[in-house]
Amino acid sequence: MEEGKVKTSELVEYYQFDDEGYYIGPVSVQIVNGEPLLPPNVTPTPPPQPQDASEEDVSFNWNGESWSVEVDPTTCEEFVGVVIDHYSDTPHDIKLREKLQKALEKGGSDYREGRGEDLSWYVEVVTEEEKAANEANAALSDFDSQLSSIKSRMELANLMNDTEQMEALRGEYRTLMGLDAQSAD
């Protein structure tokens, strides 16, 4: 072979991971003159096959020597303490953001989405004090709505000079305000 001429090359499969070590997928690596032209973050070692879960339920992480299998969080409780970069578009972070959103949809009122100053995603536990405050606000909102309804209907009854309706609305008002219970005491 002439000097300076490149020998024909072949392609072999390597396995790429992101900057945090999470598996991205297979990548073809060119072998030129017996040496692989390696892109960053690849290994010739394939990730293991998951034993008791599908690949959608686990993540593979390269520690520099071998792959570890991590079960992905799927419930709000499991997501507490996990922070996901908002700007990352790695398959691992995209998958975790989707799972976090699904977990929050099922999580009920005990959890909520939290966002960091850098827009990172995480799950927060709603405290008992916050739940009590939310219930109080809901009750106050309901009370305000009922009072507003009585007021609007009272104005219409007054405009129509409907004394029977006005008297009925006064009764609703007294009941809403708890005045009937007070006068019975």
Residues 67-86 pLDDT 10s = 999 999 999 999 999 999 99
CA 39 to chain centre: 33
Does 144 fall in a domain? Answer: yes
One domain for residues 67 and 77: no
One domain for residues 23 and 61: yes
In three-state secondary structure terms, 49 is coil
pLDDT at 127: 86
C-beta of residue 10 within 8 angstroms of C-beta of residue 31: yes
Does 134 fall in a domain? Answer: no
C-beta of residue 57 within 8 angstroms of C-beta of residue 72: yes
Distance CA 60, CA 18 (A): 11
User: Which tokens belong to 183?
Assistant: 């006068």
Structural domain containing residue 149: 139-184
Does 90 fall in a domain? Answer: yes
In three-state secondary structure terms, 3 is coil
One domain for residues 150 and 164: yes
pLDDT at 98: 95
One domain for residues 11 and 67: yes
Does 1 fall in a domain? Answer: no
Does 57 fall in a domain? Answer: yes
What does the DSSP assignment read for 20-58? TSBEEEEEEEEEETTEE-PPSSEESSPPPPPSSS-TTTE
Distance CA 176, CA 103 (A): 39
Residues of the chain with pLDDT under 50: none
Distance CA 140, CA 144 (A): 6
One domain for residues 66 and 93: no
Q: What is the pLDDT of residues 30-63, one digit of tens each?
A: 998 888 999 999 999 999 987 666 768 899 999 9
Q: Bridge-partner residues for 58, per DSSP? A: 71
Distance CA 43, CA 35 (A): 14
One domain for residues 93 and 123: yes
- Residue 7 Rama label (left phi>0; alpha psi -120 to 50; beta): beta
Model's pTM, two decimal places?
0.66
pLDDT at 134: 77
Count the Cβ atoms, other than its own, within 10 Å of residue 19: 9
One domain for residues 51 and 78: no
Domain count for the chain, please give it: 3
